[in-house]
Amino acid sequence: MVIGKVYLIVGNCVSFVHCFLCALFLLSVAATKTSKDGYAKESKKNGLVDKLDGGQKPIDIESFDQNKPVGAGNKTREERMMEKEAKQKEREAKQKEREAKKKERKAKQKEITLAKEAKQKEKALAKEAKQKEIALAKKAKARARKRKQGD
């Protein structure tokens, strides 16, 4: 008996959700049709009668480019291609500039590395010379002691 009531409740919930979704679908279809009709009416208002053939000629009221004046129209294919090429050249120039800076940084780093290596070699040579000098001084002292002992 309890299982039957559970199925009844679940079935009612499913049917309610189904009805709700159908209603939303119908509302969206109706809204789409009215918006299309409204758009068509507006586009008929925004037309000029062409004196030659009597047909309607649409007016471009808003251009995509906000810097252009009203009615100036959108860019032509050639204009878009020219802009694209200009942007491409600009990107290439920036890329070359970045590469030049990168090479310059590498050269500076290499120069710094060479300078450090030269300093290290110089220190090593100085240390070696000092050690030789100390060894010679010790030998000289040892000879001097031997002479004193021999006298």
| pLDDT at residue 75, rounded to an integer | 76
Residue 10 lies in a domain: yes
* pTM (2 d.p.): 0.37
Name the residue range of residue 25's domain.
1-74
- Contact (Cβ atoms closer than 8 angstroms) between residue 46 and residue 56: no
Measured CA distances, 66 to 62, 69, 73, 80, 82 (Å): 8, 7, 11, 16, 19
| pLDDT at residue 74, rounded to an integer | 72
Average pLDDT over residues 4-27: 69
How many domains, in total, are found in the chain? Answer: 1
Q: Which residue has the higher pLDDT, 115 or 49?
A: 115
Q: Would you call 72 helix, strand, or coil by DSSP?
A: coil
Q: Which amino acid is at 5?
A: K
| pLDDT at residue 132, rounded to an integer | 95
Residue 40 lies in a domain: yes
Q: Would you call 133 helix, strand, or coil by DSSP?
A: helix
Q: How far apart are CA 9 and CA 16, in angstroms?
A: 11
Residue 48 lies in a domain: yes
Residue 129 lies in a domain: no
User: Which residues, listed in sequence order, are joined to residue 48 by a DSSP beta bridge?
Assistant: 57
- Contact (Cβ atoms closer than 8 angstroms) between residue 12 and residue 5: no
